[in-house]
Structure formats: C-alpha cells, structure tokens
DNA sequence: ATAGGGTTAG
C-alpha cells in the first residue's frame, strides 16, 4: 500500500476504514488500524499511531497494550516491544494467546533464548500453552534461537496441530541447515494426513534447493502439482530458485513463463538464476523485459546485475548501474556497495573500488573489508592487501573465514605460519575453504608434506579441496601422489570436475608417468563429458606433446571447439619442443590473422621454435615484433630464449651482446644456456665467463662446474680442470645423477648411470657389449670429451657406454619385439656421444627411438635425428 | 554483499 505519509489526514483514514466496510470510528478500530498501517514506518510518529494514542490514553487497557505491542513488533522495534511486554506483565493484566504469540516472535527476532523461555513458562502458567497458535509460536521461537531440541519437544507435546504448526517446525529445521530432516518431516506431514499449504511447500523447496540434488527437485515439483498450489506466487518463486541452484535454468524459466502473477521476487529470482548459472547476457535480457513490463526495480535486482557486470568485466555498464542505483536512493545498501566494489575490482579499477570502501568509513564491516582486500589481491597489489588486513584487525574488525581464505593467497607477502596460527585459534582450520587456501599456501612454499597433513584435517572435503591437493602433488612433480588422490576421491564418490582433470592430466605429463595413464584420464574425461572444457583440452595438448605424441596433441588442438590464449600457447610450445618449427610458426600466423590476444608466453614458444629450427633471423624478428608491435616488456625468460637462439647457432659473441645489452643483470638461466652452448661449441673463452657468472649466482648448481670442467677437459687443460673439480669438492657440490625412464607394458623402469642393480643387468650389459662391437665395425669412435673423470681413454669409453639412456635403450631392445618404437625420458640433457650412438642404433636395429631429455625431443630414425644434430 | 583449487614457458 503506497501513500504519501505527510498527507495522510483523518479524512484519508476514514476513507480507508470505509473501504474495509466500517461505518464509524470506534476507539478500538483506530488503534488496531493505525498500528497495522504505521507499523512499517518506524521513524514515523504520526498523531494516529498507536504510540501516540497510548501515551495520551487516560486509562490503559489490555487492548491498547496489545495494539502498541503489535505496532512495535511489526516495525522491527523488538526491544521496545519486549519492554512494553514486561510492563504489561507487571501491571497484572491478563495476557491472551495473541499477545503471547506476538512476544514470542519478538524473542525469536532478538535471538533472546532466555526471554523466550520465560514467556514459555508464562504460557504454561496462564494455560495458553494448549492454544495452537501459542504452541506454534513457541516452536518458531525455539527454532529461531537455535534450540532445535526444545522446539521439537514443544511440537511433540502439542495437543492439536495444524498446517501452520507443521510448517513452523519445518521452517525451523530448514533455517538451522538441517535439510535432510526437513525432507523427512515433509513426508511425515502426509502420513499425518495434513495438507501442505504454499508456505510449507516453499520451505521444503528451499531445503531441496540447498541440497542441490536434481532427483529430489523433480520429486518435490511433483508433490507441488499434486497439492494444487503450483500457481501460487511464493511456490513458483521457490521453484525458480531451486531449479537455478541445481543448474536447471531452463526449467526455472519454464516456471517463470507459466506464472500469471509475478512479484519483484520472481523477477529477481530469474535474474539471479541467470547470473549464478553464468548466463549473464540472459540476465540483462530479463532486466530489459522487466523494464518493458513496467515492473519497479528493487534493490536485489541491482545487486544481481552489478554482479553480472563483474563476471563480464563490463566496466561501462557497471558505472551506469552505479548511477542508476544512486538516483533511486539505493546507494547506501551494504550489498549494493559491496557488489559495486567487486565489479570495479574485477575491471581492474581498484581506485574506484577503494573510493566506495573509504566512503563507508564508520559502517565498514567484515564483508566490506574482505571485499576490498580480495580486490587488491586479484589485481596483484599484495602489499596493499596485507596492509589492509593488518589495519582491519587494528580497527577491531575480526576476520572471518572468507577473510582468511582470501589473505592466504597473499604469498609471499604474509607469513603463512602466523596466519596459520590465527586460523587454528579461530577454529577455521577444518573448514574446506580455509583449509584449502592454507594447503595451497604450503604447497606454493614447497611444503607438500605439511600440505598433506592440513588436507587430512579438513572436515568435509569438497571437490575444491581434493583438486587443490591433487594440483599440489602435480606442481611438485609427484605424479604418483597426484594419481593416488584422484583414485581416492573417486573411491569416496566425489565427482571430479574440469579442474581435477586438468591437474591430473598435467601430472601425467611428468617423466615418471606412464603414457597409458594420461590416455586413461583422457578417456575418463570423455566419459564425464569434461574433455571439451578448455583447461582440460589444453592440459591434454601439453600432456600428449610432452609424452612424445605430437600428432595426438595436434588432434586434440584441432578438435577444440573454442580456444583461449592458453590453448594456442600450448600448441605452439608443443610444436617447438618437437622441433617442428614451421608448424609452430603456422599456428602463430593463424593467431595473427585472427588478431587474437598474445602474451609473453606466446613469444617464448615462437622464439624457441625458431631456436630449435635454427631460424636465427626469424627469432630476432619475432622478438622485435613482440616489443614494438605488441608492447610486451621482455622478461628474463625472453632474454634467455634470445641467448639460446644465438648461442645454439654458434653465434656466441652475439649472445654475449644480448646479455650485455639487457636492461637488468642476467640470471642463472641465461648463463646456463650460454654455458651449455659453449660446451657444445668447445668455446673456452666465453664458456669461462658464463661458468664464473653462473657459479657466483648459484654456487650449489653442479651443472656449472661439470660443464666448465668438461670444456677444460676438451681443451686438454687438465690443470684448470682439476681446479674446478677441487672447488666442487670443497663446496660439497654433488653432480646430479642421470636417470632415464622407459615404459614397457604400462610399467615404468628407471635406470641410473652405471646401474648394476637391475635384475636384468647382465643381459643389458651384454647387449651393450654386442652393440659396441657392431658400432665399431661401422667406424664409430667414442667422443670421450663428454666424460668428466680423468681416466684412461679405454675406461672413458666404458663410462660413456653406461650412461643411463643407453641402459634403458638396451633394456627396451631386449624386452620388446623387433620393430617396436622405443621411448625414453631422461632428466638431464643427452650427451653428444650418446646422441651419435642412438642415431646408429636406430639404423642397425631398425627402430624408431624417441628420447625426451630435459630440453627437447629427439626422434631417431634410420640413423638420423629430427633435431638435425642441432641442439 | 565477501572466500579456497586449474591449464601455457623454463
């Protein structure tokens, strides 16, 4: 009912009374009507309000007390209502059932369990406890004050019950999050031959919505139709909400379309449904329709639409809504302001988000603080986020579980141990959100074991928690741990989602995973229809590429229905690793033609494709293009690629020029790249500079010492070589052991250089012996420059022939039928001598041999390698 | 109204 309050005169009031069929204005009438009409306007002190009449009244009777009590309770002045009730009780007036019901509602709203219990006693004393309405109100009060046990007890003791009593209990269960009990009780209503009313149905539908089980949703809809209340507005509103929450947005829309009378809740329900289901454009279409229908916009509609702008990163529309919200006087609602802050944060407009936050000074709460902190974190402004987190505590706002799960992503600007301690104190550790964020923080600092302990402590592990743990193992290269997590979650009946698959497939790209495992997860993703999710298919492209199966990688890429930057980058890098430079560049040109967004990683792929294909000029051209045309600032990785490009082509001086002209000092990776090239090219002069720089940056890195001493050895400078060796011993630097892996019949076998422990060692060594004789017959001379140890030539040859990749290949030749391709994975780079030997083996044994070393793939066939001896 | 996990390079 809308009217301008200031113009409401006695006359108007008379008119209203006439509408209600009353001829005269008795005192009681005035009291009861005014309290009803003025109850929704708390700050109003109209001369006709019950409050005024009450004050002026010469003798106060129970009806006046009651009228004012109702007015207070309806206008959310619950404390005043409770005081008035105490006065009423003290005055010795007898109370009736409706008074008790009213005050019980007040107790519920105030969460005042103690006062509620007192009223309960008074109801017993006055005998009104037998009254159905009072009993029902008692149930409601207990449920609202979270005393589910007493609520149920009162209900059970009630002599007579009606639908409202059942509904009160039902609503109580639902409000306390006891969704399963709510559903059970709903079945009992039928057993007791009570007919549910629209409120009963709306409550149960809400409980079903929270559980999100589609089958239950269909069942409840059937019950609604049977009850005959299917067209009732509040029932339809709940159904719309339920279907949206279960992801069945089309069913929600069907309900919406069928409705004869739509309220503001209906429109908002539909709009909010579209937003939560990611159909933001449909939400806006609905908004447009709502406007055409002449419906008034309420505050939740704006909140939903602003959220939609955040999802779409639609800044200009967010600003328009901001204006509209201010114009319609809704700019002061907390939820609107928070939604606006989130939208501005998502559009990288942190200044605007912060402006809203600072304007709220004095009324800021945990939610607003968390929103602004989260905004800074998402925009990578970690220092400011941490600063605000500290300030928040100083201003006496206690962080909640949202805040903790957010701030834990502020690595490395926070001490996770400190935050962990706070989390334990506040008992948030067991919550899946906080636990997951904590676990991830430990993974990112390299503490996988601690992360696993935290994971175990999480109470009800959801799919996000499981996926985070799985990703943790995958990121640390622990394939087995990752796969085990997947098997465990499947066993517990948890449904993996696209993130779970992308992580487990990523784990299967590791050197110790079997190729078969990756394929199986691919199959499983197809079964669950998640294979087409972008993150899954991109992970598949990389997995197949890293497993040496570039054809399958390309096949997955070609079948991608839509692509994003990562998809394109994955394919470019895949081709680059497989030395298919031309194909990598073709993909890149396709991207250019379509004018797609590119980033620094795209160019790392492109330049490394040029490097592996020996296209020096092209590499330089792409680097220049990146800086000049795409305005991408080159990072250390890019310079590393450029140094690689020139030094592999033997242009070591040019590589040094790159290093000297870099805008920042070269890092270890850059020097290591240069050093490796000097090793291949036997360039002592540049090699010395590279090694010295690398050693000063990473004194514990064995590669620097090993490569440098090898360069000295190659130059026959044994004295200098001995100095390097001595330095290595003094600093206790251990050479990284060379490992190779081979997969035969779904089992992975690993070999260490000079390994004698393998059960088939004897046969492997005799196979190597046999091969070495045949190689010598073909005129092969071992290149002993690749041996570090200062020993006799003959022994050096023996060391060489025991490199792990040769053991693995010999094993492969023995255990697989002739003609079977052999695939090896190695943790270090393959040495020059092994490279020549493997070429010859592929010829004399007529085998296709694929070696993936730490750097790239080598496809050996008929005596040649795909890298063209250029690596 | 606020929250946690993922895919690309090296």
Within this chain, do residues A473 and A535 fall inside the same structural domain, yes or no?
A: yes
What mean pLDDT do residues A50-54 have? 68
Model pLDDT for residues A149-194, shown as the tens digit of each residue:
888 898 888 888 888 888 899 899 888 888 888 888 888 888 888 8
Place of tokens 């800086």: A627
Cβ contacts of A854-862, under 8 Å, gap ≥ 24: A854/A826, A854/A827, A854/A828, A854/A829, A855/A829, A856/A577, A856/A578, A856/A579, A856/A612, A857/A548, A857/A550, A857/A577, A857/A578, A857/A579, A858/A830, A859/A578
The answer as to whether A631 is a domain residue is yes
Helix (H, G, I), strand (E, B) or coil at A865: strand
Which CATH number characterizes residue A705's domain?
A: 1.25.40
The answer as to whether A178 is a domain residue is no
Domain end (from A704, A736, A768): A736
The answer as to whether A581 is a domain residue is yes
Any idea which nucleotide's C1' is nearest the CA of A304? B1
- Distance between CA A240 and CA A76 in Å, rounded? 29
Any idea which nucleotide's C1' is nearest the CA of A406? B3
| Protein CB footprint (7 Å) on chain B nucleotides | 1-10
- Distance between CA A263 and CA A479 in Å, rounded? 54
The answer as to whether A48 is a domain residue is no
Between strands A864-865 and A739-744, the pairing is unpaired
Within this chain, do residues A556 and A452 fall inside the same structural domain, yes or no?
A: yes
Reported as a pLDDT band with limits 50, 70 and 90, residue A819 is: confident
**CA at A770, C1' at B6: how many angstroms apart?**
49
Model pLDDT for residues A704-749, shown as the tens digit of each residue:
888 888 888 877 888 888 888 888 888 887 777 778 888 888 777 8
- Measuring alpha carbon to C1', the residue closest to nucleotide B5 is A468
**Position A315 pLDDT exceeds 90:** yes
Domain end (from A631, A657, A683): A657
Burial of A851 (0-12, 13-18, 19+ CB in 10 A): buried
The tokens for A740 are 């190779």
Within this chain, do residues A648 and A682 fall inside the same structural domain, yes or no?
A: no
**Position A625 pLDDT exceeds 60:** yes
Q: Which residue has the higher pLDDT, A866 or A500?
A: A500
Q: In terms of residue numbers, what domain contains A717?
A: 658-736
In order of A44, A71, A613, the CA distances from A52 in angstroms are: 11, 12, 92
Within this chain, do residues A775 and A639 fall inside the same structural domain, yes or no?
A: no
Q: Which residue has the higher pLDDT, A179 or A467?
A: A467
- Distance between CA A401 and CA A370 in Å, rounded? 10
Selection from A314, A356, A362 nearest residue A338 by Cα: A356
Any idea which nucleotide's C1' is nearest the CA of A336? B1
- Distance between CA A871 and CA A869 in Å, rounded? 6
- Measuring alpha carbon to C1', the residue closest to nucleotide B2 is A367
Place of tokens 């923080």: A441
As a three-state string, the secondary structure of A432-486 is HHHHHHHHHHHHHCCCHHHHHHHHHHCCCCCHHHHHHHHHHHHHCCCHHHHHHHH
Predicted TM-score of the model (pTM): 0.77
Helix (H, G, I), strand (E, B) or coil at A751: strand
- Measuring alpha carbon to C1', the residue closest to nucleotide B9 is A601
**Position A286 pLDDT exceeds 80:** yes
**Position A630 pLDDT exceeds 90:** yes
The answer as to whether A233 is a domain residue is no
Measured in degrees and rounded to the nearest 5, phi and psi for residue A692 equal -60, -45
Q: Are A196 and A169 in contact (CB under 8 A)?
A: no
The answer as to whether A314 is a domain residue is no
Any idea which nucleotide's C1' is nearest the CA of A370? B2
pLDDT at position A45 is 46
**CA at A373, C1' at B2: how many angstroms apart?**
9
**CA at A324, C1' at B9: how many angstroms apart?**
45
Within this chain, do residues A821 and A838 fall inside the same structural domain, yes or no?
A: yes
- Measuring alpha carbon to C1', the residue closest to nucleotide B7 is A535
- Measuring alpha carbon to C1', the residue closest to nucleotide B1 is A335
Q: At what angle do helices A198-211 and A179-191 cross, to 10 degrees?
A: 140
Within this chain, do residues A682 and A821 fall inside the same structural domain, yes or no?
A: no
Number of domains in chain A: 3
Within this chain, do residues A474 and A519 fall inside the same structural domain, yes or no?
A: yes
The answer as to whether A800 is a domain residue is yes
**CA at A337, C1' at B1: how many angstroms apart?**
8
**Position A261 pLDDT exceeds 90:** no
**CA at A468, C1' at B6: how many angstroms apart?**
9
Q: Are A608 and A576 in contact (CB under 8 A)?
A: yes
Any idea which nucleotide's C1' is nearest the CA of A375? B2
Q: Which of A156-160, A550-554, A618-622, A780-784 has the lowest mean pLDDT?
A: A780-784
What mean pLDDT do residues A623-648 have? 93
Model pLDDT for residues A1-39, shown as the tens digit of each residue:
333 333 445 555 554 545 444 544 444 445 455 545 544
**Position A59 pLDDT exceeds 70:** no
Within this chain, do residues A481 and A511 fall inside the same structural domain, yes or no?
A: yes
Enumerate the H helices of A127-159 as residue ranges.
132-144, 148-157
**Position A443 pLDDT exceeds 70:** yes
Selection from A821, A841, A822 nearest residue A774 by Cα: A841
Measured in degrees and rounded to the nearest 5, phi and psi for residue A177 equal 75, 10
Q: Which of A73-77, A260-264, A311-315 has the lowest mean pLDDT?
A: A73-77
Q: Which of A68-77, A225-234, A273-282, A324-333 has the lowest mean pLDDT?
A: A68-77
Selection from A35, A67, A64 nearest residue A48 by Cα: A35
Measured in degrees and rounded to the nearest 5, phi and psi for residue A220 equal -65, -35
Interacting residues of A396 by C-beta distance below 8 A, sequence separation 6+: none
Place of tokens 């989130």: A342
Domain end (from A681, A715, A736): A736
Any idea which nucleotide's C1' is nearest the CA of A439? B4
Within this chain, do residues A575 and A489 fall inside the same structural domain, yes or no?
A: yes
The tokens for A33 are 């009507």
**CA at A597, C1' at B8: how many angstroms apart?**
14
Within this chain, do residues A663 and A638 fall inside the same structural domain, yes or no?
A: no
Any idea which nucleotide's C1' is nearest the CA of A378? B3
**CA at A326, C1' at B3: how many angstroms apart?**
28
**CA at A510, C1' at B5: how many angstroms apart?**
20
Within this chain, do residues A588 and A715 fall inside the same structural domain, yes or no?
A: no
The answer as to whether A376 is a domain residue is no
**CA at A510, C1' at B1: how many angstroms apart?**
43
Within this chain, do residues A580 and A717 fall inside the same structural domain, yes or no?
A: no
Model pLDDT for residues A752-768, shown as the tens digit of each residue:
877 777 778 888 888 88
pLDDT at position A40 is 42
Cis peptide bond upstream of A412, omega within 30? yes
């Amino acid at each position: 009912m809308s009217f301008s309050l200031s113009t409401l005169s006695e006359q108007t009031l008379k008119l209203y009374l006439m509408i209600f069929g009353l001829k005269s204005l008795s005192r009681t009438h005035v009291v009861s009507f005014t309290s009803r009409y003025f109850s929704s306007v708390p700050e109003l002190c109209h001369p006709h309000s019950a409050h005024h009449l009450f004050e002026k009244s010469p003798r106060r009777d129970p009806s006046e007390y009651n009228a004012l009590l109702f007015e207070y309770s309806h206008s959310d002045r619950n404390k005043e209502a409770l005081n008035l009730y105490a006065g009423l009780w003290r005055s010795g007036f007898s109370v009736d059932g409706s008074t008790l019901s009213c005050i019980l509602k007040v107790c519920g709203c105030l969460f005042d369990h103690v006062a509620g219990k007192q009223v309960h006693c008074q109801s017993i004393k006055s005998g009104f406890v037998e009254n159905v309405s009072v009993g029902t109100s008692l149930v409601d009060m207990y449920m609202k004050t979270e005393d589910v046990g007493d609520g149920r007890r009162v209900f059970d003791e009630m002599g007579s019950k009606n639908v409202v009593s059942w509904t009160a209990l039902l609503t109580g269960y639902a409000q306390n999050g006891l969704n399963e009990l709510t559903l059970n009780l709903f079945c009992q209503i039928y057993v007791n031959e009570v007919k549910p009313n629209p409120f009963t149905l709306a409550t149960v539908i809400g409980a079903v919505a929270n559980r999100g089980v589609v089958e239950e949703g269909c069942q409840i809809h059937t019950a609604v139709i049977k009850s005959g209340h299917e067209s009732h507005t509040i029932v339809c509103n709940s159904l719309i909400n339920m279907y949206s929450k279960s992801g069945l947005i089309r069913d929600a829309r069907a309900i919406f379309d069928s409705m004869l009378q739509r309220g503001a809740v209906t429109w908002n329900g539909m709009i909010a449904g579209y937003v939560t289901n990611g159909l933001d454009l449909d939400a806006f279409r609905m908004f447009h329709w709502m406007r055409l229908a002449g419906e008034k916009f309420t505050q939740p509609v704006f909140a939903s639409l602003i959220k939609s702008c955040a999802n779409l990163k639609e800044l200009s529309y967010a600003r328009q809504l901001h204006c509209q919200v201010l114009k319609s006087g809704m700019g002061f609602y907390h939820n609107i302001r928070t939604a606006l802050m989130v939208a501005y944060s998502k559009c990288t407009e942190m200044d605007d988000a912060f402006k809203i936050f600072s304007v709220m000074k004095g009324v800021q709460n945990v939610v607003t603080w968390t929103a602004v902190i989260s905004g800074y974190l998402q925009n990578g402004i970690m220092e400011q986020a941490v600063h605000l987190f500290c300030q928040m505590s100083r201003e006496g706002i206690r962080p909640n579980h949202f805040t903790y799960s957010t701030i834990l992503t502020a690595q490395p600007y926070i001490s996770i141990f400190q935050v962990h301690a706070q989390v334990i104190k506040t008992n948030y550790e067991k919550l899946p959100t906080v636990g997951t964020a904590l676990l991830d923080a430990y993974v990112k600092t390299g503490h996988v074991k601690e992360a696993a302990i935290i994971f175990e402590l999480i109470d009800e592990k959801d799919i996000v928690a499981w996926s985070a743990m799985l990703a943790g193992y995958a990121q640390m290269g622990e394939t087995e741990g990752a796969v085990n997590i997947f098997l465990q979650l499947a066993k517990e009946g948890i449904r993996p989602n696209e993130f779970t698959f992308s992580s487990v497939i990523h784990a299967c790209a590791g050197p110790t995973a079997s190729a078969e495992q990756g394929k199986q997860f691919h199959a499983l993703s197809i079964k669950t229809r998640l294979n087409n999710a972008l993150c899954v298919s991109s992970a598949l492209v990389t997995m197949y590429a890293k497993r040496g199966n570039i054809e399958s990688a390309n096949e997955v890429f070609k079948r991608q229905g839509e692509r994003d930057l990562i998809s394109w980058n994955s394919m470019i890098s895949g081709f680059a690793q497989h030395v298919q430079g031309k194909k990598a560049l073709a993909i890149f040109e396709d991207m250019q033609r379509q004018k797609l967004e590119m980033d620094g990683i795209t160019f790392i792929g492109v330049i490394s494709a040029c490097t592996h294909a020996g296209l020096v000029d092209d590499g330089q051209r792409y680097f220049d293009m990146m800086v000049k045309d795409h305005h991408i600032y080159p990072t250390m990785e890019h310079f590393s690629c450029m140094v690689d490009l020139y030094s592999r082509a033997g242009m070591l001086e040019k590589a040094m020029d790159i290093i000297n002209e870099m805008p920042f000092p070269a890092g270890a990776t850059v020097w290591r790249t240069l050093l490796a090239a000097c090793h291949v090219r036997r360039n002592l002069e540049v090699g010395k500079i590279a090694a010295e720089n690398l050693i000063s940056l990473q004194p514990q890195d064995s590669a620097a010492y090993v490569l440098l001493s090898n360069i000295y050895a190659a130059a026959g400078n044994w004295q200098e070589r001995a100095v390097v060796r001595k330095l290595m011993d003094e600093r206790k630097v251990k050479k990284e052991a060379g490992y190779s892996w081979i997969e035969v019949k779904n089992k992975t076998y690993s070999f260490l250089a000079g390994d004698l422990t393998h059960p088939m060692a004897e046969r492997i060594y005799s196979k190597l012996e046999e091969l070495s004789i045949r190689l010598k017959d073909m005129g092969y001379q071992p290149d002993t420059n690749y041996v570090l140890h200062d020993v006799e030539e003959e022994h050096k040859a023996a060391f060489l022939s025991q490199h792990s990749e040769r053991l693995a290949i010999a094993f492969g030749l023995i255990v697989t039928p002739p003609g079977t391709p052999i695939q090896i994975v190695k943790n270090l780079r393959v040495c020059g001598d092994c490279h020549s030997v493997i070429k010859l083996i592929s010829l004399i044994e007529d085998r296709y041999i694929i070696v993936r070393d730490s750097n790239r793939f080598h496809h050996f066939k008929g005596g040649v390698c795909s890298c063209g001896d250029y690596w």
